[in-house]
Amino acid sequence: MFNMNYSLAHIIPVTKAREKLGDLATKVKGEKYVILTKGGQAEAALVDIEYLAKLEEEVAKIYQKTFIDPQLLPLTRKFSNKEIREWLEEDQI
């Protein structure tokens, strides 16, 4: 599913959201958001437009620091949490 800090009050089925979309749009201020579900699964989220812009800027900063040549993508892999912890420990030495 999704891995975010959320409360059940912020999860709404799409069918119910249709009725009160205007109200929901005013509730998403700052870092507050509403998760829309379809068939019990997270489908989309309503977020404050300024917060979305902030997230996009942060992602752009990360990509600037971690460029990967698209031709190399098939050769990449995800690292386990254990590997990352070991590297962090090595960096402490």
Domain with 82 in it: what CATH number?
3.40.1620.10
pLDDT at 66: 67
Query: Contact at 8 Å (CB) between 45 and 26?
Result: no
| 77 part of a folded domain | yes
Q: How far apart are CA 27 and CA 23, in angstroms?
A: 7
Q: Give per-residue pLDDT as tens, 19-51.
A: 888 888 888 888 889 999 998 888 999 999 999
Q: Which domain covers residue 43, as residue numbers?
A: 8-92
Query: Contact at 8 Å (CB) between 37 and 11?
Result: yes
| 1 part of a folded domain | no
| 3 part of a folded domain | no
